[in-house]
Every structure is written in structure tokens, then in C-alpha cells.
Copies of this chain bind each other. A is one copy, B any other.
């Protein structure tokens, strides 16, 4: 079992990674009641084990449908109403057992229910374990605008059991690996080389190696959010690949790509963009692109209109005063955040990756 410490203005909290991590919930006492926000299929598969390990035998699930549409204000209202009906008060605990959607929604509801109750992230996807469950960002979407309303609200605890990743589909699993690769690019040659050497073994069910991956990749995010909890600056580096990525997701109505897949395309594009801006040695760029590609196949982008995708770039909500903060790799373990990128290069990088001109 590995323990990571996340610093937060509202109190530091721990992330526990390893088989049986849910047992850490036993140490959380003093709550009047506990609730689990999750999906029916997850609860069916893991509910009994969760109740046993967490020591919360009488815990009752609040179920939400699978998928991004659950990250809505209406759903948040429904969950709040259900919490109230079942007697949740200000001293109740909410556990978000699921992927990014459940985590974001659960965190949003917990941070606003009666103006805030404690919550625990129990992530069940690679993406959530290495990324979204950490850092206290919660959100819902409004009319297709991703994460338009949300809060910064630290969880009480994050418990990541890599054994639950065994039930992921290969595609969902791979989508999360791209985010781990993103963290490796941010982190440096150590983690990057470790993943390069082990990519064939990173499969659902390989719990031991996944425990190391999750702990190491999560540590990268922990280091960043501990220094910049509220996205004042540094935290922006976590958006590596997300600027193009969000545009790709939006251009396809959030239906074609899993989030990590869109980010993977985005990482390929910003890697090329960094080369075009003479910020990145093409040999290193090739190494980055090779690892991204080694994770697995990506949904096609050839049919997407360049103007459409690029027209969606400025809607990135991290834009302040209308500018885009590009996160460009300058090497493995080194990125630059800058708004100063020529529009022509932005288009060229997109086009080259789209047309496969750059051999990735």
C-alpha cells in the first residue's frame, strides 16, 4: 500500500493506492451516515466488497446513469434531493465510487450539499486514479459546456484500488493510460522511461504493476496541485494536450473520443507545435509521439474539418481575456505555458498530425 500526501488550503489529505485501499475508510469516523454515489454496474460488481472493506455495512448507494450526461445540474439536484430524503445531514459522508463523471458530480454535490459535506474519492478508472480524483476540482456541464460550474473542494481522502481496473474495457483502460503518459511527460525521464519499458505489461488485471503506475503517475499530479491548488498558474501544465483535445471532443459532440483519446491526439499535436516553434528537439518529440502511439489505436480524426476544430480552440475555458494558454513540451520533464503561438503554426501542427505527415 502506498500513501501520498496532497496539500490543500482546506486541510491536507491522503491518497491511498493499493489492493484493499478502501479499508482506509474505516479510519473515517464521526459521521452520522454514509452514502455512495456510483453507477449500477459498478455497485453490482463492487458494492459488496466496498461495504465489507470500508467497514460501512449499511451504506446505501445512490445510483446515476453511466456517461457524461450524468454530469448535469439537474442530476446534481436529483442526487441532493435523494440525499435529503434518505436523511443526509451536514455530518454525512459521501463517497464517489466511479470514474471521472461520478467523481466530478459527487464532488460537486458534496461541496454544495447544505453548503458542503465531507467526501471521499474512490476512483475506479485509470483516468480517475491518476488524475481526476486528485486535486479537488469538481464540476458539472451546462448545455454541453464542459465543467462550466464547479468548485475547488478537497476530498477527505482518495482511495485507489488498482484491482478494480480489471473490470475496465481495453479501450477505457487505454484512455486512462494516455493521461499517465501525460504525467510522465510533465515529470521527467524517470517515469517516462519506466512506462516506455513496461507498456506491454500495462493491462487490466496486472494489479501489481498498475499499483506502481498509479502511485507514480498520481504523484506527479499531487506535486502540482499541492503547489497550485486553485489553478493560479502552475496547475495549467496539467492541461498538456487538452487544448486541442477539448476542441476535438467538442467538434465531435463528445461522442467519438474517450477523454484520454482526445488528449492523446492533443499531445501529438502540441508536441509537433513545440517542434514548429523550435522549442523541442525533434528526436525528443519523436520519443514522446512514439510512447503516445504505443498505448494503442486512436479514433480517426481525418474527417474533421480543420476550421471547425480550430474555431473551437478559443472556447477553452482556461482562456483569460480570450487568450489560450498553450502548454508546450520543451523536453521530457519540461513544459512551457505560453499564449504566444502563431496561429499558422497551430493550424500546421493540427494538419500534419491529422494527415499523418509526421510519422508518429
Whether A282 sits at the interface, judged by CB under 8 Å, is no
Whether A35 sits at the interface, judged by CB under 8 Å, is no
Partner of A77, one of B32, B111, B142, B151: B142
Whether A322 sits at the interface, judged by CB under 8 Å, is yes
Q: Which among A36-44, A113-121, A345-353 touches the partner chain?
A: A113-121
A74-B73, A112-B150, A113-B149 known; A321 vs B81 contact (CB < 8 Å)? no
A115-B139, A137-B115 known; A80 vs B320 contact (CB < 8 Å)? no
Classify chain A's interface size. 35 or more
Q: Which among A56-64, A86-94, A193-201 touches the partner chain?
A: A86-94
A304 to chain B: closest CB distance in Å?
23
Whether A358 sits at the interface, judged by CB under 8 Å, is no
* Chain B, Cβ-Cβ closest to A319: B89
Cα–Cα distance between A149 and B108 once the two chains are bound (Å): 10
Whether A76 sits at the interface, judged by CB under 8 Å, is yes
CB neighbours of A317 from chain B (8 A): 89-90, 114
CB neighbours of A149 from chain B (8 A): 76-77, 80, 109, 112-113
Partner of A152, one of B80, B91, B116, B320: B116
Whether A300 sits at the interface, judged by CB under 8 Å, is no
Cα–Cα distance between A231 and B32 once the two chains are bound (Å): 18
Evaluate contact between A81 and B143: CB separation under 8 angstroms: yes
Whether A84 sits at the interface, judged by CB under 8 Å, is yes
A237 to chain B: closest CB distance in Å?
17
Whether A148 sits at the interface, judged by CB under 8 Å, is yes
Partner of A321, one of B32, B76, B322: B32
Cα–Cα distance between A73 and B111 once the two chains are bound (Å): 15
Whether A145 sits at the interface, judged by CB under 8 Å, is yes
CB neighbours of A138 from chain B (8 A): 115
A81-B142, A81-B145 known; A32 vs B152 contact (CB < 8 Å)? no
Which secondary structure dominates where chain A touches chain B? mixed
CB neighbours of A90 from chain B (8 A): 317-318, 320
User: Hey, what's the 0/1 contact readout for A66-107 against B, CB within 8 Å counting as 1?
Assistant: 000000011011001100100101110000000000000000
Evaluate contact between B91 and A321: CB separation under 8 angstroms: yes
* Chain B, Cβ-Cβ closest to A141: B77
Evaluate contact between B114 and A148: CB separation under 8 angstroms: yes
Cα–Cα distance between A318 and B114 once the two chains are bound (Å): 9
Evaluate contact between B89 and A322: CB separation under 8 angstroms: yes
A87 to chain B: closest CB distance in Å?
7
Cα–Cα distance between A320 and B90 once the two chains are bound (Å): 6
Cα–Cα distance between A73 and B143 once the two chains are bound (Å): 13
Cα–Cα distance between A294 and B337 once the two chains are bound (Å): 64
Cα–Cα distance between A343 and B150 once the two chains are bound (Å): 41
CB neighbours of A148 from chain B (8 A): 80-81, 84, 113-114
A263 to chain B: closest CB distance in Å?
20
Q: Which of A74, A77, A151, A318 has the most CB of B within 10 A?
A: A77
21 CB < 8 A contacts A-B: A73-B73, A73-B74, A73-B76, A73-B77, A77-B142, A81-B142, A81-B148, A84-B148, A91-B320, A111-B151, A112-B149, A112-B150, A113-B148, A113-B149, A114-B147, A114-B150, A114-B317, A115-B138, A115-B150, A115-B230, A116-B230
